[in-house]
Structure 1
Amino acid sequence: MHWISPIRRVTSSVTWGWYAISLSWGGIAVLLHQTPHQFHGLPTIGTIIFIVDLVLYTAITLALLLEAAVPPEGSKPWEGPPSFAARVLHIKQPPDLFFAPISLLAFATIIFNTSYYGTPHCGRWLILTLNALFWVYTGVSLLLALVLGWWIPYTRTTPADHYPIVNVLPYFPPMLSGTMAGVLAPHQAPAQAIPMLVGGTTMQGFGFLMFLVVLVQSCSAVGTEGLPIPAHRPEMFIAVGPPSFTIIAMISMAAAAVEKLPTHYISSASSVRTADVLLVVAVAASLFLWTLAFFLFGMGALSMLESLWHRTIRFEQIWWCMVFPITGFVLATIDLGEYLNSEPILWVGTGMTLFQVCLWLAITICQLWEWGGKRAI
């Protein structure tokens, strides 16, 4: 393998799944900004993590672009050149289709953090830029969901050995449009905020309804085939994300609506403020969604603990699947604590934040250790 440069050794191993690393770092930066009990220096730590996330996202993207632009050298004569899908689209195996949307999820966390850490220090131009990015992201995520939603069944592509919940990944990016609308709308003028809230609600509903369909498939698979093999159990935590981020999206968009919507936005309901009703319904609906997220989290946690106890699982890159969904669960808990005015729930959210940061650090250390081991070999 002497003909492969050191850089090419790295870039050739990069796949769509690598964006889960950037996604996890971006989620932790969001969590540190939102955690209820702050201390001096925490915003600086969050900013540093956000900057590292930008570096990770850029490096992964450049690696994929390099692989697409420059054909690999030194391939053996009988192997032939890689196909267009393998080299340019980085679809080396059919299940790779399911993990391509993770790149959009990671980009969404960059937009969140740009709003959180950048808006207080920048002018109006950043607010307008984020408004444009919201609509670009929403359009691209909906188009990707439509293309993959048609192409996957057309080609009879299945997740193969993966846990069936990965079927929800094509519909996850539209869901984050709702979360994005809740984050960005408070800084927008009403003329921009109202369409953003309507669009975010539409995308959130679409993504969550598709999640329910996939959840039924996954539960059916568990009921008939049992738990997935230990190596694939980290993917069970993907199911925690949709109900958690639906809580975040509904509450944050309803709270933004209180400030941005006209008093009687739905004119036929003239006896009450539209936004007040939306906020009450959002908080009430979030309670049963939190219970669903907790149940799915418990299923994944018990399955992982059983594997760790019997030492039937070892670290793989797929472990990054755990970080972002659980981060969403922690953020949803914090939001409920704030809007229910419950200090005990907020302290639970702080404890969950500490646990999540420890999990993120542990997986980061394991990933660095694995990379170091491969370089040593």
Structure 2
Amino acid sequence: MVVVTNDETELQAMSDHDNTNGKDEDHERNSPVVDSKNPLRRSVFRAMVQDFGPLWFTWCMNAGIISTLLHQFPYQFQGVQVLSTIGFLLDLTLYVIFSVIFTLRFLLYRGQALAEITSNVPELCLMPTWCIAFMTLVSFVSLTVSNATWGGENWTLLAVAMWWMATVWMFGKLFFCFITLIREHNLLDRQLPTLIIIPAVGVATLAAVGGVVTTSAHDLSANLAVPIILTSFCAAGVGLILGLILYTYLFHQLLAHGWPAAASTPTIFILVGPMGQTAAALQLLGAAANTHGRFAAYNHGTFLTASAAGPLEIACQLLALLMTGLGAVFFILSLCALADRAWHRELAWSPAWNAIIFPTGTLVTSTLLFADVMDSPFFRVVTAMLTLFLVMVFFINVVFTVWKAYKGQLLVVREDPRVKARLAELRKES
């Protein structure tokens, strides 16, 4: 015999009402399916798909940036390239799985999924992570696949095509995020989330990956490389200047309100991203123009020539050094934030810890490039230490994520928060 409580009766009534009056197909699909025995409980599939957010793509980003760093690790040892390839394959596998789940959310829940993303400022700001994760795969194809013994020109052309796809996608995301924020949200009376800087990081990442393609892809012609270099310089400018504009608000917010909430404190590491990624991008693009001879081979006008490429690379390295310094300041500031939370016994793991790896990885990419161009033991040691730090944080995230998923607190949360909210509304009305 099943005893139905008053709450369950109300929920069952809501479900019956939706089923009888919801003639619209989307409405029926988005209405909660209520089990009379446990009205808040969903199936595993529904719970995973309905709540799946863009935050999960940070796992792909983190695996991709660590794999890139291992591929060019300053202290090579036996097996490091294998570890790099394994990391890239993990990135690819997760990206495919997460993309399928995220796409299913929009296919199955349509209007509800879009409304929930656009009405939630942090979720909206995280949307570019899908494209950024895709760009880590562009790096994979350029660095590893195109240079494999079985790779070659066809994979280089694929990397170029993927990069141009990412260009359209990333700028589309940039405009979508900020236009939605302007039209639908009034943030004047609220604190800006640190995540608002992610679109700027995404555009800067586009520039950096353009540098990877033009410096590392196998047998890339100057006719294909130069348009990527020029577009990447434009993207680097957008990422840098937009990042500086947002820094003003976010740093003022830190001064006015203090650290973010304890669970969100690791998001301060995102401030490292625009500086670190733009610094890496400028170094790579300058090297592509001069060291790899793309401008000399193209040889058009007065700018796209060998004589202009040399000073351009030096200017890029100087600017990159300035940005690396600012990125290091934000990195140390972020570490101090975590230390302060730990001192007050407020430090606890949350999914926000995924924000530590990719932004810091962009700074490490810059120090890695400086280690090469300066033949600097200092930058090599810093790069190695920070890479090991990122690997350690990655495995900490794995352990806690698996544990919380096992406990039903993450990824698959069987209780439907939407049903709880509707029940609360019914109670208020009654």
TM-score by length of 2: 0.79
Please, which of 345, 353, 372 is the counterpart of residue 338 of structure 1?
A: 372
Maintained 8 Å contact 1:163/1:233: no
Per-residue CA shift, 1:123-161, capped at 9, x if unaligned? 211111111111111122112212322221121254998
Q: Superposition pairs for residues 143-162 of structure 1, below 5 Å?
A: 143-158=172-187
Q: What is the Cα deviation at residue 269 of structure 1? A: 10
Q: Are 1:281 and 2:281 counterparts?
A: no
Cα 1:163–1:33 change in 2 (3 A) is farther
Structure 1 segments of 4+ aligned residues over 6 angstroms from their partners: 159-162
Maintained 8 Å contact 1:64/1:90: no
Cα 1:7–1:219 change in 2 (3 A) is same
Tell me how far apart the structure 2 counterparts of residues 329 and 160 of structure 1 sit (CA, whole Å): 33
Structure 2 runs not aligned, ≥5 long? 1-34, 415-430
For 1:267, the aligned partner's letter is T
Tell me how far apart the structure 1 counterparts of residues 315 and 353 of structure 2 sit (CA, whole Å): 35
For 1:109, the aligned partner's letter is T
Maintained 8 Å contact 2:200/2:274: no
Q: Counterpart of 1:120 in 2: which secondary structure?
A: coil
Q: Specify the alignment match of 2:164 in structure 1.
A: 135
For 2:93, the aligned partner's letter is V
Q: What is the Cα deviation at residue 328 of structure 1? A: 1.1
Q: Specify the alignment match of 1:21 in structure 2.
A: 59
For 1:51, the aligned partner's letter is L
Q: Superposition pairs for residues 344-359 of structure 1, below 5 Å?
A: 344-359=378-393
Q: What is the Cα deviation at residue 162 of structure 1? A: 6.9
Maintained 8 Å contact 2:262/2:347: yes
Tell me how far apart the structure 2 counterparts of residues 269 and 198 of structure 1 sit (CA, whole Å): 10
For 1:194, the aligned partner's letter is V
Q: Please give the root-mean-square deviation of Cα atoms over the aligned residues, in Å.
A: 2.4
Q: What is the Cα deviation at residue 179 of structure 1? A: 0.6
Please, which of 213, 222, 227 is the counterpart of residue 195 of structure 1?
A: 227
Please, which of 64, 76, 82 is the counterpart of residue 38 of structure 1?
A: 76
Maintained 8 Å contact 1:115/1:130: yes
Q: What is the Cα deviation at residue 289 of structure 1? A: 0.9
Q: Are 1:262 and 2:296 counterparts?
A: yes
Q: Specify the alignment match of 1:175 in structure 2.
A: 204
Maintained 8 Å contact 1:134/1:181: yes
Q: Superposition pairs for residues 185-264 of structure 1, below 5 Å?
A: 185-186=214-215, 187=217, 188-258=220-290, 259-262=293-296
Farther-moved stretch of structure 1 (189-198 vs 341-350): 341-350
Tell me how far apart the structure 2 counterparts of residues 169 and 157 of structure 1 sit (CA, whole Å): 19
Cα 1:50–1:341 change in 2 (3 A) is same
Q: What is the Cα deviation at residue 359 of structure 1? A: 1.6
Q: Specify the alignment match of 2:93 in structure 1.
A: 55
Tell me how far apart the structure 2 counterparts of residues 102 and 269 of structure 1 sit (CA, whole Å): 33
Aligned residues between the structures: 365
Per-residue CA shift, 1:76-135, capped at 9, x if unaligned? xxxxxxx70426874463432111111111111111112112111212111111111111
Tell me how far apart the structure 2 counterparts of residues 44 and 160 of structure 1 sit (CA, whole Å): 50
Q: Specify the alignment match of 2:131 in structure 1.
A: 104
Q: Specify the alignment match of 1:7 in structure 2.
A: 45
For 2:368, the aligned partner's letter is I
For 2:238, the aligned partner's letter is F
Per-residue CA shift, 1:157-208, capped at 9, x if unaligned? 5499876432222232221221111111133200111111000000110111
Tell me how far apart the structure 2 counterparts of residues 163 and 117 of structure 1 sit (CA, whole Å): 39
Farther-moved stretch of structure 1 (171-180 vs 316-325): 171-180
What percentage of aligned pairs have identical amino acids?
21
Maintained 8 Å contact 1:163/1:228: no
Q: What is the Cα deviation at residue 33 of structure 1? A: 0.8
Tell me how far apart the structure 2 counterparts of residues 85 and 274 of structure 1 sit (CA, whole Å): 53
Cα 1:183–1:268 change in 2 (3 A) is closer
Please, which of 342, 361, 384 is the counterpart of residue 327 of structure 1?
A: 361
Q: Are 1:69 and 2:103 counterparts?
A: no
Cα 1:154–1:70 change in 2 (3 A) is closer
